[in-house]
Every structure is written in C-alpha cells, then in structure tokens.
Amino acid sequence: MTAIHTTSSATQWCAPPQDANPDARAIRLTDVHLENGERLPEVVVTFQTWGRLSPDADNAVLIEHALTGDSHVEGEAGPGQPTAGWWPDLIGPGRTLDTDELYVVAINVLGGCRGTTGPGSTAPDGKAWGSRFPRTTIRDQVAVEAAVADALGIDAWFLVLGGSMGGMRTIEWAAGLPQRTRAALVIASAAQATGDQIAWGQAQTLAIASDPAYAGGDYYDTGVIPEHGLGIARRIAHATYRSADEFNTRFGIQPQESEDPLDGGRFAVESYLDHQAGKLVARFDAGSYVHLTAAMATHDVTRGRGSLTEVLGSYPGLLRVAAVDSDRLFPVELSEQIVAAHGRGHVRLLRSQHGHDGFLIETEQIAAVVSETVADARRRRLPVRVAG
C-alpha cells in the first residue's frame, strides 16, 4: 500500500490568526508539497485540543469536520468563533469521548477559512492567494494533518472519525497511513466521490463563479464578497443534505406565514433555504467553498493504489462504518461498499428523517456508535508499526 507523500520539511509553532478562535493553537509548516506536484511555501494550520496526551501518546483521537465545519467541535460561540460546537456533548469528562482518558484533536482543514491557510490567506507577495491558490486534494489535507500529529508527538491515532468530507479524510487516513491509524470510524461518507456528488458540486461552484463579485476568485481585496452566489450554492447543497420526506412533511406546500406564492411570496421551504443561505454567507468564505468542493470531487482512496478491496482489505486496524438511512447524497450503498471491500463487520445504520445531515443531528445515535467504536478499539489495541 502506497504511503502518503511527504508534507513539509519543517514545522514551527506560531500564534493563530488574530481573528481565529482564542482556544485555537497553530503551527507553521514550510515547503508543503502537494499531490499535483505544486508546493506551498508556508501553511499555517490551526486546531483545537481537549484532554491530555498520555505519556505513551496512545490515547489521541482525531475528529474530522465536514465541508463548512471547523475545529470547534465542542463549546459555545464567541470571539473568532461564530457558531457553537457542531457535535455538542460528545467531548468532555465522562462523555462519549472522555477527556479524562482521551486526547481529542480537531484540525481546521487545508484550503478552508477557519484559520488554516486557504484561498483567502496572504500569499508571499502580500496579497490574498485568491485564484492562485493551488488545487489540493483530500490526500493533501490528510498529509497536513499528519504534520500536525508529528508536531504533537502522535505517532499513531487511537481513533480517527468524521462524517461527510470528514469521513473522506478518515478513510484516507486508513488507506494512506494505515500504520498511523489504529481505528477509524467513517460516517455518512464514501471511499470515492460519485458522479452524482460531482454533479451537485459543479452546480454549486458555478453558482458562486457566476456571481460578478466573485471576480474569478480574486475578490478578497475588493471589499465585496460574492454573497449572492454563495447563497445559491448553499441552497443547492442544503437540498441534498436533507431528505425529500423531511421537506414534504415539515413544509409541504405551505406559504411562508403571511406571504402568498400566487402573489410573488415565498413558500415556507423557500424561506427555510433562504435562512440557511444567510447563515452560511455570514460565516464562510466562497473561495474556500469552491476549493473544498473541488477537493471532494477528486476523492478516491484507490488512486494509484489498486482496487478498493486491495486498499481496504489490507488495512490492519479497526474499521467501523455508519450511514444515515435517508441520506440521498451519500446513500447507504456507499457505506456498504466500504464494508464489503474491508471484508469485515457491517454498516451501523442511523435512523433519521433528516437525510445526510442526520450525522450532525442524531447526536444520541452518533454517541452510541462512537462509544461502541472506542470500546472495540480499546479491546483490540492492535500493535502499530510506525512509518520510519
């Protein structure tokens, strides 16, 4: 199995960006080599941690966030952090990820906009990277995370887990760095992007690119953001994140309060999508949205490695897979493909009316799956060969 490429030649601790969450920490990587042969001379990576690393560094858990998520998995909204934790009540003393025993890490992804270097970051010439930011992949994201693990003294993760794009990085850890991944929990995700996902992603990125304010990706110094295009992209995406049954049951054909659709007013479901669009525009960057959507489209753990069975069948660690029964973006069969290729276990099915977003909403079911995985990983404690 091919090891992932080397990420950087050096790391250095540094202060997180001034507008970052004050609970964040940061390291600076230099000479970061990318899968496409390009390089970034410098990458600042921000992350959050909970608990303490054990003397043997064998209790570290990596939580992988989704497309518009961030490292703020647990906690309230506050300065530099516009939203509360996206998986509440999962991390802490006595909780599912018990910080009396586990050291939990969450890293803001490469190419994002929550502190780690991305299109809106400053390039060596003092201007925003914008359209010049090189294309990166899920493998590049994981390689940067591996450099963070190195800086923290973590040779191998006790557990890596995440959903959606976070699940893509999770399975990439198992496929690309199996020696450093004792256990993996892939939730509502896939081993490879599908044509359906790529198609929906293109509609979203074209919506952003068609906004004149986007300026080909070079809007950062104009003082104007492509909020119209990003809002449309979010509406498209959110329609795939939720189930048809939820939309029909929750909204149906009801108008929005006193508005009359026959007189140009909105339906209730349209008002809901407008609200979701406004929330994202207020907290996320359009350039990062385009960049990360492109990274998801190229996700494929088999690229250059052989068949899916060859890649996952040889993974020596514990692999658990969970899916949402109403997910139409990452349908259950994609999780079944992972399990079949691995050759062991079964899909843990989360019951939800909420579609793909069920992995964020059904917190009790998520906690149960995570608890089971942690318990199984503790029982196995497989020996891990650290790559030299």
Would you name the residues annotated as active-site residues?
A: 164, 327, 356
CA distance 207 to 211: 7
Asked if residue 198 lies in contact with residue 294, where contact means CB atoms within 8 angstroms, the answer is no
- 5 CB-near residues (< 8 Å, 6+ apart): 33, 35, 139, 143
CA distance 275 to 285: 17
Specify the amino acid at residue 80. G
Q: Which helix (H) or strand (E) element contains residue 62?
A: strand 60-64
- What is the residue-wise DSSP string for 166-178? HHHHHHHHHHH-G
- 192 CB-near residues (< 8 Å, 6+ apart): 299, 300, 301, 302, 308
CA distance 34 to 31: 10
DSSP state of 113: S
Q: Using only the alpha carbons of the chain, give its radius of gyration.
A: 20
CA distance 106 to 354: 25
CA distance 181 to 301: 15
